[in-house]
Structure 1
Amino acid sequence: MQKKALFGILFVSVLILGVAASGCISGEKTSTGTTGQSDSTATGKVVELEFWHGIEAPENQKVLEELVRKFEAEHPNIKIKLVNYGAQDKAVPKIMAAAQAGTPPDLVWLNPAQTGFFAEAGVLAPVEDFIKNDPSFNKEDIYEGLWELGTYKGKIYTAPFDTNNLAIYYNKELFREAGLDPEAYMGKALSWDEFRELAKKLTKDKDGDGEIDQYGFMVPFGRLEWTVWTWEVFLWSAGGELLSEDQSKPTFASDAGVKALQYWVDLVYKDKVAKLSEPNAGYKLDDFFAGRVAMTINGPWNYPVLKEQGWLDKTGVMLMPYDKRIATNIGGENLFIFKTTPEREQAAWEFAKFVMSPEFQVTWALKTGYLPVCKSALEDPEYKKFLEENPFIKIYVENLQYGKARPPVPQYPDMSAAIGEAIEAALLQKKDPATALKEAQAKVEPLFKS
């Protein structure tokens, strides 16, 4: 059955009720091995690990570097080399090539939808094996739904690093110029029709030259994962699913899928209230900051960027527009531990435990805008105060209750690529949405029969 990220409800209930939770990690420093201590700790030998990630914001990279140095200070026998692999959309071939060459990274920061792909390839050291052998680790402190995202065929392969979801950024000043009260839209969910009408009010030819200078919305354009990830929200909102309930066949070319893609096409060409993003760059904020678009899809991870550039107070957040139901896509990344040597794998697990601890999660959440993966982080006084003072982030926390997630099946990368090609063709008006999606579905159906 396709994973339903209902852990958001639990997440919000813990926040509201203030349920006390124990820490992710106990005070002990024992390892997952049956000996209770890694070879490096016993011998004093320094283990050097490579950690590949695709964190783009310089501010967030700096936070990660600081936390890694903190871990190294607490674990002097483990050193971590950070390697930025670039765009996450293009990372999987690089990672697999390294694994097939026998030189995989020890740790990889990657979206959990890739779990099944790498698990099926047999290149991962399953996280579940470490958990079973490590009494110091409190698995229950991590949201159950996040474990599900890293699970393939009933076994946990990858560990949650952080989590987030999608919503709509809007420019409060442009709302005021259009005679709208921006505060009235904070945390609000509009229907597709209401969103279209709002975008019309925000679309303007400011200099009277017959050309639109300010669009109401920006539609993500391209064929890579960002575009697909954002479109999946509209698919789910229209009542559709990526896969059948038993995950045995793709179903995204349903009437709901066609309706979702047609909505994007109409916003651009029929209603003329949206512009296309740069190819495969729908996550960039250049057009938003420049006032060329009033609304765009984004997540909480740009909190430090907005704060640094003086945009936090000028940016509102509303939920994703809905058709039949409110939806969002649960994002964030997991830690993938690759098969290397028992010594290096053990050291990688020690770092994974640190990442899932409130010590890491609270700092990461406060400084990056990502949402914590462990319940105990919500009990931290500093984080509680942070949420009270930052409605921008609190809206994303509450939005988790509407979340669904990409299925961690091995066919997902190929399915995403096919959907991306279909979206691109439709947005370029080379194919109508129905034809584009049906051809994409026919292309990936054989993958589910093998």
Structure 2
Amino acid sequence: MQKNPLFGILFVGVLILGVIASGCISGQGTSTGTTTSSSGKVIELEFWHGIEAPENQKVLEDLVNKFEAEHPNIKIKVVNYGAQDKAVTKIMAAVQAGTPPDLVWLNPAQTGFFAEAGVLAPVEDFIKNDPSFNKDDIYSGLWELGTYKGKIYTAPFDTNNLAIYYNKDLFREAGLDPEAYMGKALTWDEFRELAKKLTKDKNGDGKIDQYGFMVPFGTLEWTVWTWEVFLWSAGGELLSEDQSKPTFASDAGIKALQYWVDLVYKDKVAKLSDPDAGYKLDDFFAGRVAMTINGPWNYPVLKDQGWLNKTGVMLMPYDKRIATNIGGENLFIFKTTPEREQAAWEFAKFVMSPEFQVTWALKTGYLPVCKSALEDPEYKKFMQENPFIKIYVDNLQYGKARPPVPQYPDMSAAIGKAIEAALLQKKDPATALKEAQAEVELLFRS
């Protein structure tokens, strides 16, 4: 693998995010399946993912089995790499060891990092050589998420975005009509006032038992991903228009982080999540918070635990403009052998097909990446019967996405540390963000 100076700098930064344990990928095996279908032998692929919900893991396994049944010459070993925040380190350890996975499910913001490292088989090359694939059926904005320097490197697997879950029962207890808030967008001031009404000392001991909102806390990507929505809502951007320098320590960025700090310490209407666990629903289910940031992927969890009808969804609160962060994951095809790369592309095509997308969306709550899936009668009926999901589909119009630049992992780490310092009141938001931006500027100058 040919390396360049930028890759070396970035990989060192990624290693700082987590120590590579000597056995971090031991026991997972390696796929050496270099046999080809023309020889009548089976091509073996490894597919790494970080899907957390057991229900969703089962759906994926069933779909992989379906693919294998339709492609008897391809076998896929599915490996769960754990938390996405540490995935890059594990993947690059495997790459450097000469045993890369064939396919990886990962957020598209990492596209630039791996593209710059020269370890990907660009999806665009497969598209150009495959007239059977209808690229136009995939939303163009999703292709952009996997594009680096004008070339498509990674393919959409699923998509989602962020909104506010709220506990309908706690709204009623506060004298609020929960249905009036479904799909609604509140200003930051309106959201603060709503959180005040939902913050209570239920037993009269002078301590708050129920907070209106939970602020994501920690240094990892979930915290940064959710904060970016507030940055954009205040009119700010992560990078300059030409993506040549960071701009998140602007007045808008400082205002966004100050809003979080004030909700916790000044207004006392929000609690901090456990460290790097803002995506978990424990506090929400226990009634310790009335509102929390989350996405459509927990649809099966809410349904299975009897919470679907008790959970409302409103859009993210806004300052100057309504915003959300487009999430979801892409498929990264790593350089291996021509035969394995082609087999990986066959699986990628299956993933982007309406056959896969409708099933995945119906059973997991993730949103489809292809237009034909939204026209599927079964999915149309599903949205009509589940306003929870339809709100997220409609919310896509307000979406922005993390820039797929190679510096993103280290930029996210720097922002995460700044957010943590501000939320612990170790630094004021302005100081924390400006110091982080100065650190990130060095990456863009190299």
Alpha carbons 2:198, 2:210 under 8 Å: kept? yes
Alpha carbons 2:15, 2:89 under 8 Å: kept? no
Residue 42 (structure 1) shift: 1.9
| The 10-residue stretch of structure 1 (120-129 or 19-28) with the greater mean CA deviation from structure 2 | 19-28
Seen in structure 2, the aligned counterparts of structure 1 residues 135 and 30 have a Cα distance that, compared at 3 Å, is farther
Residue 44 (structure 1) shift: 1.4
Seen in structure 2, the aligned counterparts of structure 1 residues 404 and 13 have a Cα distance that, compared at 3 Å, is farther
Q: Which runs of 5+ in 2 are unaligned?
A: none
Residue 407 (structure 1) shift: 0.1
Given the two structures, how large is their TM-score scaled by the length of structure 2? 0.92
Seen in structure 2, the aligned counterparts of structure 1 residues 227 and 411 have a Cα distance that, compared at 3 Å, is same
Q: Which runs of 5+ in 1 are unaligned?
A: none
Seen in structure 2, the aligned counterparts of structure 1 residues 102 and 3 have a Cα distance that, compared at 3 Å, is closer
Aligned-pair identity in percent equals 92
- Residue matched to 2:15: 15
Residue 100 (structure 1) shift: 1.4
Alpha carbons 1:127, 1:156 under 8 Å: kept? yes
Work out the CA distance in 1 between the residues paired with 2:374 and 2:22: 11
Alpha carbons 1:240, 1:252 under 8 Å: kept? yes
Work out the CA distance in 2 between the residues paired with 1:241 and 1:120: 23
Higher RCO structure (Cα 8 Å, ≥6 apart): 1
1:210-257 deviation digits (Å, cap 9, x = unpaired): 000000000000000000000000000000000000001000000000
Work out the CA distance in 2 between the residues paired with 1:229 and 1:9: 23
Residue 383 (structure 1) shift: 0.3
Residue 15 (structure 1) shift: 43
Alpha carbons 2:7, 2:113 under 8 Å: kept? no
Q: CA RMSD in A?
A: 9.6
- Residue matched to 1:395: 391
1:164-211 deviation digits (Å, cap 9, x = unpaired): 000000000000000000000000000000000000000000000000
Work out the CA distance in 2 between the residues paired with 1:419 and 1:21: 25
Residue 5 (structure 1) shift: 31
Residue 43 (structure 1) shift: 1.9
Counterpart check, 1:197 vs 2:197: no
Q: How many residues align?
A: 446
1:38-73 deviation digits (Å, cap 9, x = unpaired): xx3322110110000000000000000000000000
**SS of residue matched to 1:124:** coil
Residue 4 (structure 1) shift: 29
- Residue matched to 2:298: 302
Work out the CA distance in 2 between the residues paired with 1:387 and 1:249: 41
Counterpart check, 1:372 vs 2:345: no
Work out the CA distance in 1 between the residues paired with 2:395 and 2:6: 11
1:309-353 deviation digits (Å, cap 9, x = unpaired): 000000000000000000000000000000000010010000000
Residue 27 (structure 1) shift: 38
Alpha carbons 2:34, 2:339 under 8 Å: kept? no
Alpha carbons 2:231, 2:237 under 8 Å: kept? yes
Given the two structures, how large is their TM-score scaled by the length of structure 1? 0.92
Work out the CA distance in 1 between the residues paired with 2:223 and 2:162: 12
Seen in structure 2, the aligned counterparts of structure 1 residues 187 and 17 have a Cα distance that, compared at 3 Å, is farther
Alpha carbons 1:7, 1:144 under 8 Å: kept? no
Seen in structure 2, the aligned counterparts of structure 1 residues 100 and 30 have a Cα distance that, compared at 3 Å, is closer
Residue 19 (structure 1) shift: 49
Residue 449 (structure 1) shift: 1.2
1:377-413 deviation digits (Å, cap 9, x = unpaired): 0111100100000000000000000000000000000
Seen in structure 2, the aligned counterparts of structure 1 residues 392 and 173 have a Cα distance that, compared at 3 Å, is same
**SS of residue matched to 1:196:** helix
Alpha carbons 1:32, 1:130 under 8 Å: kept? no
